[in-house]
Amino acid sequence: MRRVIFKFLEIENFMRNYIFALLMLVFFSCGSDVDIVTYKVVRGDSIEERTSQRFELKGENFGPQNRFGQLIDISIVNGAKIVQDNKSEYAFWRLEGEDDLISFQVIGEGPNEVENADFVKMVNNIKSSNELIFFDYSRKSLNSVSISPNSGFKKYSDIPDQYWGRMQSAVNISDSLIAITGLFDETKFMVFNGNNQQEAWRSVYANSFSTELSEEERLEVAPRSIEYNEKNDMIVLSNPSVNSIDLFSVNGSLVKMYSFDEFENLTTESIFSPDFFYYYGVKTQENLVYGLYLGVERKTIDLQDLFLSSTRPELHIYNLLTDDLLRYRLDRVVNACVIDANNNVVYCIDEDNEDQPLVKYEISEIF
């Protein structure tokens, strides 16, 4: 039958061939929901516009059922999948295989316990190490903990008191140097020495907007998340109210910005209003920086409305070497993800599945 159809097409006129071509285009587009959007690679005064096509991903829930409290983040430490739980007696779980769990880092008020998992953030991990490094807002410190059973943390470094009240996150960039970001209107991040608690240097303030911002507006767009890419020696900054991911050298100079689609939070009158929600859960590893992207008004992020709507986050994966962008629209709302590049798998936390919250997506290739 297929041979008959193609033989028939060969003898038909131009119009019939044209219609066939259109049908084939629709056929091959089906399931990928073709959507091509412009993004920008900004380097100083240079702005390069590129396009990226979106593809669909369908996930599969896996792992233990009815074992977790409420998962809020996921990471990979030396090949092991680690999840953070803010409603359990332990802050972290290590997933062994598909169903077995190992708990570590007790929640409590003891000397080697964390007071509240809501105020803990996994921030960086040393390659080939079994140590998980996390930022503890309550104790004002970076800590490290072995991912072995029932482990308690040891302090990695205190955060100087003068930064508290304004800082949002911290990350280790060497054995002694710590980078922090927060509500600072004059800099994007600063680096201090954890051994002597002295500030080492500050980054330049790079304005990613076409107009100058007031001090109040600068605070609104100040980074809320900071990550460190060890392979490329870069600092990665993001804020859900801004539609870009900023990359700096460790010494504080701007390398480039990835800006996706249009920025709706700055009006034509140059007034900033955080009505739209963009990148969240931004992470970096090897030659990748990636994050979840919504690009919707915050008022629609009432979870009930979001679940009922057709809005789903996209996973954006940028190649730090080529600046190419892979875009995948996920089939559900997730609150965090991590990429296993060796196996081309993305692990996420399903926001709407309390019984079995882990979900995995298989990707054909990651660059």
Tens digit of each residue's pLDDT (9 = 90 or more) over 319-358: 999 999 999 999 999 999 999 999 999 999 999 899 999 9
Beta bridge partners of 192: 178, 199
Does residue 114 fall inside a structural domain?
Answer: no
- The candidate with the shortest Cα–Cα distance to 61, out of 319, 285, 258, 330, is 330
* Span 157-185, average pLDDT: 90
* Span 109-137, average pLDDT: 84
* Span 133-138, average pLDDT: 90
Q: Is 201 helix (H, G, I), strand (E, B) or coil?
A: strand
The DSSP string of 247-286 is EEETTS-EEEEEEES---SB-TT--B---EEEEEEEEEET
Residues whose CB is less than 8 angstroms from the CB of residue 15 and which lie 6 or more positions away in sequence, other chains included:
none
Q: Is 79 helix (H, G, I), strand (E, B) or coil?
A: coil
**4 and 45, same structural domain?**
no
Q: Is 15 helix (H, G, I), strand (E, B) or coil?
A: helix
Range of the domain at 3: 1-30
Query: How many Å apart are CA 342 and CA 353, to the nearest integer?
Result: 27
Task: Kindly indicate the confidence band of residue 239, based on its pLDDT and cuts at 50, 70 and 90.
Answer: very high
CB count in 10 Å sphere of residue 344: 13
Side chain identity, residue 283: K
Query: How many Å apart are CA 154 and CA 128, to the nearest integer?
Result: 19
Q: Is 87 helix (H, G, I), strand (E, B) or coil?
A: coil
Query: How many Å apart are CA 121 and CA 133, to the nearest integer?
Result: 9
Query: How many Å apart are CA 213 and CA 265, to the nearest integer?
Result: 12
**196 and 229, same structural domain?**
yes
Does residue 338 fall inside a structural domain?
Answer: yes
DSSP 114: B
What is the reported pTM? 0.87
Give the range among 160-169, 180-189, 273-282, 302-311 with minimum mean pLDDT: 302-311
Of 166 and 271, the one with more pLDDT:
166
Does residue 72 fall inside a structural domain?
Answer: no
On the 0-12 / 13-18 / 19+ scale of CB atoms within 10 A, 21 is: exposed
Summary mean pLDDT of the chain: 84
**40 and 25, same structural domain?**
no
Does residue 92 fall inside a structural domain?
Answer: no
The per-residue pLDDT for range 32-47, each reduced to its tens digit, is 446 899 999 999 889 9
Structure tokens at 59: 């996930």
Task: Kindly indicate the confidence band of residue 268, based on its pLDDT and cuts at 50, 70 and 90.
Answer: low
Residue 310 pLDDT exceeds 80: no
CB of 85 within 8 A of CB of 335? no
Task: Kindly indicate the confidence band of residue 209, based on its pLDDT and cuts at 50, 70 and 90.
Answer: low
Residue 215 pLDDT exceeds 80: no
Percentage of the chain modeled with pLDDT above 90: 55
* Span 197-202, average pLDDT: 95
**55 and 13, same structural domain?**
no
**289 and 237, same structural domain?**
yes
Does residue 115 fall inside a structural domain?
Answer: no
Instruction: Look at residue 356 in the predicted model and tell me its pLDDT.
Output: 96
Does residue 133 fall inside a structural domain?
Answer: no
Q: Are strands 71-77 and 80-85 parallel, antiparallel or unpaired?
A: antiparallel
CB of 284 within 8 A of CB of 236? yes
Give the range among 35-39, 169-173, 213-217, 257-261 with minimum mean pLDDT: 213-217
The per-residue pLDDT for range 89-118, each reduced to its tens digit, is 999 999 987 778 999 998 988 888 888 888
Does residue 99 fall inside a structural domain?
Answer: no
Q: Residue 47 is part of a domain; what is its CATH number?
A: 2.120.10
Instruction: Look at residue 164 in the predicted model and tell me its pLDDT.
Output: 85
CB of 134 within 8 A of CB of 142? yes
DSSP 117: G
Question: What's the count of helices (H) and strands (E) in the chain, helices before strands?
Answer: 4, 26
Does residue 39 fall inside a structural domain?
Answer: yes
**Torsion sign across C-alpha atoms 13, 18, 20, 21:** positive
Residue 51 pLDDT exceeds 90: yes
Instruction: Look at residue 110 in the predicted model and tell me its pLDDT.
Output: 86
Instruction: Look at residue 279 in the predicted model and tell me its pLDDT.
Output: 96
Number of domains in the chain: 2
Residues whose CB is less than 8 angstroms from the CB of residue 146 and which lie 6 or more positions away in sequence, other chains included:
104, 130, 131, 132
With tokens 């990928």, the residue in question is 32
**57 and 2, same structural domain?**
no
Element (H, E) at 349: strand 345-350
Instruction: Look at residue 139 in the predicted model and tell me its pLDDT.
Output: 85
Percentage of the chain modeled with pLDDT above 70: 84
Structure tokens at 305: 């409305």
Query: How many Å apart are CA 13 and CA 363, to the nearest integer?
Result: 40
